[in-house]
Structure 1
Amino acid sequence: MTKLDFFEDIAMSIDYWSEATSDALTKPDADLIWVDEQELYHRLQKLFANSGVNGDDLKEVLAECLRGFAISVLTAIDGGTALAEKGRVYVVDGDGNSLGEGLHDDFVSHLLNTGRLK
């Protein structure tokens, strides 16, 4: 596993969850088997349908939020939050090799390089 593989896996998860959530909120026929409270989604589906919310727009908003969350988690791993005062967390591969420092910056670069971030 390389750092780029790790970043691509995160980016693909962001793509998947932003689309799955957008569909769950804007498409009445969406499969909601993965949600805990289906009724909440049904209510929001009605609200979004009545207000003319576009599923593609919602997908972009959700992707932005999930990218921000991923960057926040990577920043914590990098020691860029108050967590660093208590200790550090490191990402290592199966051979025990560290994926290095600056993961949050490198992830942003990956998003830019793959066209997921403009």
Structure 2
Amino acid sequence: MNPFQSIYEAVGKDTIQELAAGFYREVAQNEDLRRLYPEQDLQPAERRLFLFLVQVFGGPQTYSEERGHPRLKMRHFQWKIDPKMRNHWLNAMFASMDKLELDPQVRELMMNYFVKVANHMVNHD
């Protein structure tokens, strides 16, 4: 079993929803990240992130049922993701995490997951 899949059971759907909402509040305040979303309403993106995180962290597979395999690298290849953009993304996610009351072990698991994925997404120097 993927160690990240125990997170859903530990924190529940509502905490993951708060994480996604907090992340997009950070996106709205970060010019570099906000430019990636030409649409005014960030709610659809927030919902996709929420469903994705629920699935990755061991919850229902609604994301895949609605959108197919995540294929993160492919879905994000249209954007230039360099180390600076990766850091913006990680900082926004970590800022959102900071607003949650997370067990330290769960927090570490989540951070490890986000760092691993963010590093994988870099597609430019």
**Above 0.5 in TM-score?**
no
Where on the TM-score scale, by shorter chain, does this alignment land: which range?
A: 0.3 to 0.5
* Pair member with larger Rg: 1
Higher RCO structure (Cα 8 Å, ≥6 apart)? 2
